[in-house]
Structure 1
Amino acid sequence: MTAASALRKRLSDKNIVVVPGGGSPLEMKLIAQAGFEAGYLSGYATSATRYGLPDIGLMALGEIENALAACRRVTELPLIVDCDTGYGDVINVRHTVRVMRDLGAAAVQIEDQVWPKRCGHMDNKIVEPREVALKKLKAAVKAADGSDLLVIARTDARGPHGLDEALERCRMFHDAGADVLFVDGPHSVQELERIGRGLPGPLLANMSETGKTPLLSASELQQLGFAIALFPSSTVRLAVKTIQNFLTHLKQTGDSSEWVPRMASLAETNAALDIDVHRDFEADILKELAQEMEKQA
């Protein structure tokens, strides 16, 4: 079963899927090791983790392609890939979806912002006209046809045009074949309730801590009608805060000993990186070589 098939099958279950996000192979390995059923390759987190840049349209297809390829080398976890606006018009969207499909993505997320886009919880977003957004979504659906790759249609219209426009766009996207609907940036629990009642599923809720949307638990979101609880950039923001605090302390004291209980040990870090898999491979080669040399002796 492919990663896309596994995620599609999982979404047929009534229980909500909790999906953490990140921007690096290490985060995806840790998400898989923690037992999650899917991970989210976030544009925000990828821009921050791999390039040290904010999520304001400074990263395009090549960067997210390289990030996905690196993640795929170290984990078979089903990955939802944030493909921003698809990086162009309908031909670009088709190419983006095909690249993600061929690299083993489980789902692609396409949004309706004008390029250069920005993080969904920033102000002053601009969205494309309905007809432009719709033709690009149709291109994504058509490009995914014949595979189990899911297309997640995201609208950022709530910010500039209000929730009614966001809901209407999602209904259009559903009718055009989107597999999952995603209204980004609702401002209240009441708006989340309207989304859950007013749209056909499966629905995705974005729990971006300290963003515009109230932070709810997965069980609360399930009661509101959502199928995916997305925590897209929690890991990178934990890393930023923890590393900043550590470096401040180290600069002041020149001593890291106080932080050792909060660190993974070298052995724990190596285990998380699957060092035994590589050591076992090396040992097998050396064993085979020794056996061959013994036969020749």
Structure 2
Amino acid sequence: MTAADLRAMLVAGHVTHAPGVYDPASAALAVRAGHRAVHLSGPAISATMLGRPDLGFAPATQIADRAATLLPALGGVPLLADADVGYDDPDHAVWTALAYRRAGISGLCLDDGDDAGLTAARIAALVERVPEVVLIARAGGRGLDETFERCRAYAAAGADAVLPVGVREADLGRLRAALPGVPMVVCRSEAATGGGRLTGAELAGLGVGLVLHPLAAVLAALRAASLAYRAIAEEGDAERVDRMPPAVYATLTDRPEPEITAEINKIDT
């Protein structure tokens, strides 16, 4: 898919969920589950390559390198990637976005940092010089009013969508009223669960086109691995742990036979 396809998702009138992926196997599973967009996040890179929680400085080169390994498994499904480091000024932002594009990344989630004015300048440069990459601008501030002002500034600079940071889904209606017509993206972080979440129809009615789930699959995989390692340590095998059948695993990057697809569907449900 092209950037035009991803931009169409932002204004489609319904929500597209973009789960986090982190290696070719997870990318293949996300595609087979029917997802139309996926997300490579800085926290996922930190967890799977460094074995540490998000430190906020997964370098752009590392993200681009990992993204390039995912493309064969994605089969054209667009990949969004975090852009936290390597975007210090407009020229650096453009250089890094070009590296992302060469790696096959269709859209980036640009971190805004402390200087909203500089972020707006970076957005304007990216829109002018790398229009092939969809730009989702994260906007965080000290309180709702500052966050809303940043969203307004980033939309005016040309961002395709804004991602308000630290704003409860229940407060998105206020942002919609302040910025009518501006597409929004929501990140459902694993750190914030429970009450206040809106339905897909409610989110779409507020202008939300994409919902990101950066760590759900990573944490599920780590939990499953933990159970398997513990079982081996205690019992000498992992027979009691629910695992993917080897025949399904062997076909992750190939077109599966119908009976194997049925096995995958049973695993997913």
1:239 aligned residue (221, 244, 251): 221
Find the residue that maps to 1:37 and give its secondary structure.
coil
Deviates more, 1:130-139 or 1:191-200: 191-200
2: distance between equivalents of 1:42 and 1:97? 15
2: distance between equivalents of 1:250 and 1:217? 41
Amino acid aligned to 1:93: A
Instruction: State the match for 1:155 in structure 2.
Output: 139
Deviates more, 1:84-93 or 1:214-223: 214-223
Identical amino acids, percent of aligned pairs: 28
Give per-residue Cα distances to partners, 1:180-231, cap 9 Å, x unaligned. 1111222x34323323333342100111133278444433422433111111
2: distance between equivalents of 1:237 and 1:215? 20
Q: Relative to 1, partners in 2 of residues 1:86 and 1:195: Cα closer, same or farther, differing over 3 Å?
A: farther
2: distance between equivalents of 1:237 and 1:276? 26
Instruction: State the match for 1:143 in structure 2.
Output: 129
Equivalenced residue count is: 254
Deviation at 1:143, TM superposition (A): 2.6
Unaligned runs of 5+ in 2: 258-269
- CA radius of gyration, larger in: 1
Instruction: State the match for 2:107 in structure 1.
Output: 107
Deviates more, 1:168-177 or 1:204-213: 204-213
Amino acid aligned to 2:220: L
Q: Relative to 1, partners in 2 of residues 1:61 and 1:80: Cα closer, same or farther, differing over 3 Å?
A: same
2: distance between equivalents of 1:246 and 1:215? 33
Find the residue that maps to 2:52 and give its secondary structure.
coil
How high is the TM-score relative to the length of structure 1? 0.78
Instruction: State the match for 1:5 in structure 2.
Output: 4
2: distance between equivalents of 1:196 and 1:270? 46
Q: Relative to 1, partners in 2 of residues 1:182 and 1:255: Cα closer, same or farther, differing over 3 Å?
A: same
1:133 aligned residue (119, 131, 137): 119
2: distance between equivalents of 1:66 and 1:60? 10
Deviation at 1:233, TM superposition (A): 1.2
**Does the 8 A contact of 1:221 with 1:229 survive in 2?**
no
Find the residue that maps to 2:212 and give its secondary structure.
strand
Deviation at 1:265, TM superposition (A): 0.7
Give per-residue Cα distances to partners, 1:43-86, cap 9 Å, x unaligned. 11122123323211342111011011111233221111111254
Instruction: State the match for 1:197 in structure 2.
Output: 177
2: distance between equivalents of 1:218 and 1:249? 39
Give per-residue Cα distances to partners, 1:74-125, cap 9 Å, x unaligned. 3221111111254422221010111112222221111112xxxxxxxxxxxx
1: distance between equivalents of 2:134 and 2:129? 11
Unaligned runs of 5+ in 1: 114-127, 278-297
The 5 A counterparts of 1:1-297 are 2-75=1-74, 76-113=76-113, 128-145=114-131, 147=132, 149-157=133-141, 161-186=142-167, 188-199=168-179, 200-211=181-192, 214-259=196-241, 262-274=242-254
1: distance between equivalents of 2:256 and 2:39? 26
Q: Relative to 1, partners in 2 of residues 1:154 and 1:85: Cα closer, same or farther, differing over 3 Å?
A: farther
Amino acid aligned to 2:253: L
2: distance between equivalents of 1:49 and 1:111? 21
How high is the TM-score relative to the length of structure 2? 0.86
Instruction: State the match for 2:261 in structure 1.
Output: none
Deviation at 1:5, TM superposition (A): 2.3
